[in-house]
A and B are shown apart, each in its own frame.
With several copies, the nearest count.
Chain A
Amino acid sequence: MELYQGSLDVKAIFGRWLDEQSSSNYGAYIPFVGTIRAEDGIEALSFDIYEPILQAWFDEWQKRAAERGAIVKMAHAIGDVPVHTSSYISAVFSPKRRVALELIDLFVEDFKANAPIWKYDVIDGKRIYAADRSTSMDGAGLLAQSN
Protein backbone atom coordinates (compact mmCIF):
# COMPACT_ATOMS: atom_id res chain seq x y z
CA MET A 1 0.00 0.00 0.00
CA GLU A 2 1.35 3.39 -1.00
CA LEU A 3 0.19 6.87 0.07
CA TYR A 4 1.38 10.04 -1.65
CA GLN A 5 0.97 13.75 -0.99
CA GLY A 6 -1.01 15.05 -3.99
CA SER A 7 -1.61 13.52 -7.42
CA LEU A 8 -0.29 10.07 -8.26
CA ASP A 9 2.40 9.52 -10.90
CA VAL A 10 0.27 6.96 -12.74
CA LYS A 11 2.84 5.76 -15.28
CA ALA A 12 5.56 5.35 -12.66
CA ILE A 13 3.33 3.36 -10.32
CA PHE A 14 1.87 1.20 -13.12
CA GLY A 15 5.34 0.48 -14.48
CA ARG A 16 6.91 -0.28 -11.12
CA TRP A 17 4.16 -2.75 -10.19
CA LEU A 18 4.58 -4.38 -13.61
CA ASP A 19 8.35 -4.67 -13.13
CA GLU A 20 8.03 -6.00 -9.58
CA GLN A 21 5.88 -8.89 -10.82
CA SER A 22 7.71 -9.42 -14.12
CA SER A 23 8.86 -12.92 -13.20
CA SER A 24 6.01 -13.91 -10.86
CA ASN A 25 4.21 -15.80 -13.64
CA TYR A 26 0.90 -13.95 -13.23
CA GLY A 27 -1.10 -14.08 -16.45
CA ALA A 28 -3.42 -11.16 -15.72
CA TYR A 29 -2.68 -7.66 -14.37
CA ILE A 30 -5.67 -5.34 -13.99
CA PRO A 31 -5.11 -1.85 -12.63
CA PHE A 32 -7.97 0.52 -11.90
CA VAL A 33 -6.90 4.14 -12.37
CA GLY A 34 -9.15 6.76 -10.81
CA THR A 35 -8.91 10.30 -12.19
CA ILE A 36 -10.54 13.46 -10.82
CA ARG A 37 -13.31 14.59 -13.16
CA ALA A 38 -13.94 18.26 -13.84
CA GLU A 39 -17.53 18.75 -12.67
CA ASP A 40 -19.60 21.07 -10.49
CA GLY A 41 -16.97 23.78 -10.73
CA ILE A 42 -14.41 22.01 -8.58
CA GLU A 43 -10.74 22.78 -9.06
CA ALA A 44 -9.58 19.72 -7.11
CA LEU A 45 -10.67 17.03 -4.71
CA SER A 46 -8.93 16.69 -1.39
CA PHE A 47 -8.54 13.60 0.80
CA ASP A 48 -8.01 12.76 4.46
CA ILE A 49 -6.81 9.24 5.20
CA TYR A 50 -6.65 7.33 8.47
CA GLU A 51 -3.70 5.11 7.74
CA PRO A 52 -3.79 2.50 10.56
CA ILE A 53 -7.26 1.27 9.62
CA LEU A 54 -6.61 1.59 5.89
CA GLN A 55 -3.52 -0.59 6.34
CA ALA A 56 -5.55 -3.19 8.28
CA TRP A 57 -8.25 -3.14 5.59
CA PHE A 58 -5.60 -3.60 2.89
CA ASP A 59 -3.80 -6.41 4.77
CA GLU A 60 -7.10 -8.26 5.09
CA TRP A 61 -7.61 -7.90 1.33
CA GLN A 62 -4.11 -9.21 0.66
CA LYS A 63 -5.13 -12.35 2.58
CA ARG A 64 -8.37 -12.70 0.64
CA ALA A 65 -6.49 -12.35 -2.65
CA ALA A 66 -3.84 -14.87 -1.56
CA GLU A 67 -6.55 -17.48 -0.99
CA ARG A 68 -7.25 -17.24 -4.73
CA GLY A 69 -3.57 -17.19 -5.73
CA ALA A 70 -3.65 -13.45 -6.45
CA ILE A 71 -2.16 -10.25 -5.02
CA VAL A 72 -3.59 -6.75 -4.70
CA LYS A 73 -1.87 -3.36 -4.87
CA MET A 74 -3.08 0.08 -3.92
CA ALA A 75 -1.91 3.68 -4.11
CA HIS A 76 -3.86 6.74 -2.94
CA ALA A 77 -3.34 10.46 -2.72
CA ILE A 78 -3.49 12.54 0.49
CA GLY A 79 -4.49 16.20 0.32
CA ASP A 80 -5.39 18.11 -2.84
CA VAL A 81 -5.60 16.40 -6.25
CA PRO A 82 -6.36 18.75 -9.20
CA VAL A 83 -8.91 17.79 -11.85
CA HIS A 84 -7.64 15.49 -14.63
CA THR A 85 -4.99 14.00 -12.38
CA SER A 86 -5.13 10.73 -10.49
CA SER A 87 -6.00 10.17 -6.84
CA TYR A 88 -6.27 6.38 -6.75
CA ILE A 89 -4.83 3.28 -8.37
CA SER A 90 -5.56 -0.24 -7.30
CA ALA A 91 -4.59 -3.44 -9.07
CA VAL A 92 -4.88 -7.20 -9.06
CA PHE A 93 -2.29 -9.68 -10.32
CA SER A 94 -3.52 -13.24 -10.79
CA PRO A 95 -2.48 -16.36 -12.66
CA LYS A 96 -5.91 -16.50 -14.26
CA ARG A 97 -8.19 -14.04 -16.02
CA ARG A 98 -11.48 -14.84 -14.23
CA VAL A 99 -10.03 -14.43 -10.76
CA ALA A 100 -8.47 -11.11 -11.73
CA LEU A 101 -11.68 -9.74 -13.23
CA GLU A 102 -13.75 -10.81 -10.23
CA LEU A 103 -11.28 -9.53 -7.64
CA ILE A 104 -10.74 -6.08 -9.18
CA ASP A 105 -14.49 -5.47 -9.02
CA LEU A 106 -14.85 -6.66 -5.40
CA PHE A 107 -11.66 -4.88 -4.32
CA VAL A 108 -12.61 -1.50 -5.82
CA GLU A 109 -16.20 -1.66 -4.54
CA ASP A 110 -15.14 -2.63 -1.02
CA PHE A 111 -12.57 0.14 -1.14
CA LYS A 112 -15.31 2.66 -1.94
CA ALA A 113 -17.47 1.32 0.91
CA ASN A 114 -14.94 0.70 3.66
CA ALA A 115 -11.57 2.37 3.15
CA PRO A 116 -11.22 5.12 5.82
CA ILE A 117 -10.78 8.00 3.40
CA TRP A 118 -12.71 11.28 3.39
CA LYS A 119 -13.28 13.34 0.28
CA TYR A 120 -13.70 17.10 -0.04
CA ASP A 121 -14.54 19.27 -3.03
CA VAL A 122 -12.13 22.16 -3.43
CA ILE A 123 -13.99 25.21 -4.76
CA ASP A 124 -12.50 28.71 -4.62
CA GLY A 125 -9.78 27.28 -2.40
CA LYS A 126 -12.34 26.06 0.18
CA ARG A 127 -12.56 22.43 1.27
CA ILE A 128 -16.17 21.13 1.41
CA TYR A 129 -16.90 17.60 2.68
CA ALA A 130 -18.50 15.51 -0.11
CA ALA A 131 -21.30 14.34 2.21
CA ASP A 132 -23.72 13.41 -0.59
CA ARG A 133 -21.21 11.05 -2.23
CA SER A 134 -19.99 9.46 1.00
CA THR A 135 -21.26 6.18 2.45
CA SER A 136 -21.36 4.97 6.03
CA MET A 137 -18.92 2.17 6.76
CA ASP A 138 -20.07 -1.32 7.75
CA GLY A 139 -21.27 -1.20 11.38
CA ALA A 140 -22.11 2.52 11.33
CA GLY A 141 -24.51 3.84 13.97
CA LEU A 142 -23.22 1.66 16.80
CA LEU A 143 -22.81 4.59 19.20
CA ALA A 144 -26.24 6.07 18.32
CA GLN A 145 -28.15 3.02 19.54
CA SER A 146 -30.55 3.62 22.40
CA ASN A 147 -29.47 1.76 25.50
Chain B
Amino acid sequence: MIRVEFLGPIGKKPLEIDAATLREVSDLLQQNEALADWLPKCAVALNDMMINDLDTPLKAGDKITILPPVCGG
Protein backbone atom coordinates (compact mmCIF):
# COMPACT_ATOMS: atom_id res chain seq x y z
CA MET B 1 0.00 0.00 0.00
CA ILE B 2 0.97 3.60 -0.66
CA ARG B 3 -0.08 6.30 1.79
CA VAL B 4 -1.15 9.65 0.33
CA GLU B 5 -1.24 12.65 2.69
CA PHE B 6 -2.81 16.04 1.98
CA LEU B 7 -1.20 19.02 3.69
CA GLY B 8 -2.37 22.39 4.95
CA PRO B 9 -5.70 23.73 3.70
CA ILE B 10 -6.71 20.73 1.57
CA GLY B 11 -8.33 19.29 4.68
CA LYS B 12 -8.60 15.76 3.36
CA LYS B 13 -7.80 12.60 5.32
CA PRO B 14 -4.92 10.39 4.15
CA LEU B 15 -5.63 7.68 1.57
CA GLU B 16 -4.16 4.19 1.39
CA ILE B 17 -3.94 3.09 -2.24
CA ASP B 18 -2.29 0.50 -4.50
CA ALA B 19 -0.06 1.99 -7.20
CA ALA B 20 3.18 0.96 -8.92
CA THR B 21 4.15 4.38 -10.22
CA LEU B 22 3.32 7.97 -9.50
CA ARG B 23 1.38 8.00 -12.79
CA GLU B 24 -1.07 5.50 -11.31
CA VAL B 25 -1.45 7.73 -8.25
CA SER B 26 -2.17 10.64 -10.56
CA ASP B 27 -4.85 8.62 -12.39
CA LEU B 28 -6.52 7.67 -9.12
CA LEU B 29 -6.47 11.15 -7.60
CA GLN B 30 -7.79 12.76 -10.77
CA GLN B 31 -10.94 10.70 -10.37
CA ASN B 32 -11.56 12.42 -7.04
CA GLU B 33 -13.71 15.50 -7.67
CA ALA B 34 -12.79 17.12 -4.34
CA LEU B 35 -9.19 17.32 -5.59
CA ALA B 36 -9.92 18.76 -9.06
CA ASP B 37 -9.14 22.33 -8.04
CA TRP B 38 -6.16 21.38 -5.91
CA LEU B 39 -4.11 19.05 -8.12
CA PRO B 40 -3.04 21.63 -10.76
CA LYS B 41 -1.63 23.83 -7.98
CA CYS B 42 -0.05 21.16 -5.80
CA ALA B 43 3.55 19.96 -5.66
CA VAL B 44 4.38 16.38 -4.70
CA ALA B 45 6.87 14.69 -2.39
CA LEU B 46 7.80 11.01 -2.12
CA ASN B 47 9.01 10.03 1.34
CA ASP B 48 9.53 13.73 2.06
CA MET B 49 11.64 14.40 -1.04
CA MET B 50 10.18 16.76 -3.64
CA ILE B 51 9.68 14.94 -6.98
CA ASN B 52 9.04 15.98 -10.58
CA ASP B 53 8.79 12.72 -12.52
CA LEU B 54 5.49 10.86 -13.03
CA ASP B 55 7.39 7.68 -13.87
CA THR B 56 8.88 7.50 -10.39
CA PRO B 57 8.46 3.86 -9.26
CA LEU B 58 6.75 3.20 -5.93
CA LYS B 59 7.08 0.40 -3.39
CA ALA B 60 4.94 -0.76 -0.49
CA GLY B 61 5.14 1.61 2.45
CA ASP B 62 5.97 4.69 0.38
CA LYS B 63 4.46 7.98 1.50
CA ILE B 64 3.26 10.54 -1.02
CA THR B 65 2.62 14.07 0.19
CA ILE B 66 0.48 16.60 -1.65
CA LEU B 67 1.57 20.21 -1.02
CA PRO B 68 -0.83 23.05 -1.89
CA PRO B 69 0.32 26.65 -2.59
CA VAL B 70 2.47 28.03 0.23
CA CYS B 71 2.86 31.36 1.97
CA GLY B 72 5.33 31.33 4.84
CA GLY B 73 6.63 34.40 6.60
Contacts and interface: CB of A to CB of B under 8 A. Distances in A.
> Does chain A touch chain B in the assembled complex, meaning CB atoms less than 8 Å apart?
yes
A114 interface: yes
Interface residues on A, range: 35 or more
A133 B70 CA distance: 8
Interface residues on B, range: 20 to 34
Helix, strand, loop or mixed for chain B's interface?
A: mixed
A140 B41 contact: yes
B61 interface: no
Interface of B: 7-9, 22-23, 25-27, 29-30, 39-45, 48-52, 54, 65-73
A130 B50 contact: no
Contacts of A56: 48-50
Nearest to B52: A139
Contacts of A87: 73
A102 to B, nearest CB: 16
A63 B8 CA distance: 27
21 contacts: A48-B7, A53-B67, A56-B49, A76-B73, A112-B73, A115-B70, A116-B67, A117-B70, A118-B8, A135-B70, A135-B71, A136-B69, A137-B67, A139-B43, A141-B42, A142-B51, A143-B25, A143-B39, A143-B44, A144-B40, A147-B27
